[in-house]
Amino acid sequence: MSGLPPTVAWSDDGRAVRIVDQRRLPAELAFLDLRTVDEVVNAIRTLAVRGAPAIGVAGAMGLAVALREREAGFAAHFEAAATAIARARPTAVNLPWAIARMRAAVASRLGEPASALRLLHDEAERIRAEDEAMCLAIGTHGLALLRDGMTLLTHCNAGALATAGIGTALAPVHLAARRGWRLHVYADETRPLLQGARLTMWELLHAGVQATLITDNMAAATLRDRGIEAVLVGADRICANGDVVNKVGTYGVALAAHAHGVPVYVLAPSSTVDPATARGADVHIEQRDGAEVTMPLGAAAAPAGAQAYNPAFDWTPARLVSAIVTDRGVHRPPYDFSRGVVATSST
């Protein structure tokens, strides 16, 4: 992330998970050290850490550190902690996926707390390191879809701030910047929490990428009028048929891109693919507090008493997705992830 600190890491003493507090950006680069289950759950729910890969990594690492000093009744504490963290946010598949890996790592050692703690730490570190490597692989495969001088559009934040590495949707942009390519990225502000404005713009400007902020309702006109050549978005869940669940607003962007003949590329780790969920309509979409809409960032934007509908995500039909890029390669339609992800061509 061009010299910026990692989004999710171990604290210096290894006894906490250190995260960039994304609620404080762009005004301030601040950090939180998470040591307890409640702190981990709260950080995930309040979006101090967000992005499907990042919350999976933070959840796994948080589970490892939160069980220190819990040797008495360790198995019961482990089960309660794993359940609470896995349920912190319901839509992104990476969080329960990571916790399931942690469960499997210690399934036979819950009666040996000291051994279990070592195994938990080691598994969490593997998940973190794998995410970093997956981001690089996604970026490398995705770079084959781009060229120097392109103009792109992105929605929400699927960059380094959403992962333990260089990002998913923005990973090829970061690699392109390292090569000296001159890309121009239009970033949707991403209402109501402004992840595009607060996070994507902050990240791209720090990386030296030319970036222009637009409001969400400008996306269709921008696709028509500003020479957009591709849309890059991340994913919180990819269904067996290729339907993509991502930040609310992605569906509208995909519809507009389709209408103007602009390809939509979804970039996400293979752990985001959920072969057990047949289609987007089957996914439970997280509903968030309406105050995020009526009082964005604490400022009144609607009359007192106004009610608001506030889904955190929407799902985009596979027919609108030109390619899905994972760490295994570039996947093209027709999509069939019913047996998971298999390696495929990167061209």
Chain segment 278-305, per-residue pLDDT in tens: 999 999 999 999 999 999 988 999 999 9
pLDDT at 311 over 80: yes
List phi, psi (to 5°) of 266: -100, 125
Q: Coil, helix or strand for 231?
A: strand
Catalytic residue among 131, 188, 236, 243: 236
Domain with CATH 3.40.50.10470 in the chain: 136-331
What percent of the chain shows pLDDT beyond 90?
Answer: 93
Domain with CATH 1.20.120.420 in the chain: 8-130
Give the residues across from 214 on adjacent strands.
188
Chain segment 177-236, per-residue pLDDT in tens: 999 999 999 999 999 999 999 999 999 999 999 999 999 999 999 999 999 999 999 999
Chain segment 137-168, per-residue pLDDT in tens: 999 999 999 999 999 999 999 999 999 999 99
pLDDT at 72: 85
Banded pLDDT at 345 (limits 50, 70, 90): low
Beta strands in 203-344 (DSSP E): 210-214, 230-233, 237-239, 244-247, 264-267, 273-274, 313-316, 323-326, 329-331
pTM exceeding 0.75: yes
pLDDT at 113 over 50: yes
pLDDT at 1: 44
> How far, in Å, are 87, 235, 278 from residue 281 at the CA level?
20, 15, 9
For the 136-331 domain, the top CATH level (class) is: alpha beta
The stretch 81-110 carries a mean pLDDT of: 94
pLDDT at 3: 65
196 touches 253 (CB < 8 A) = no
pLDDT at 312 over 60: yes
According to CATH, the superfamily of the domain at 8-130 is translation initiation factor eif-2b, domain 1 (1.20.120.420)
Task: Look up 243 and say whether it is catalytic.
Answer: no
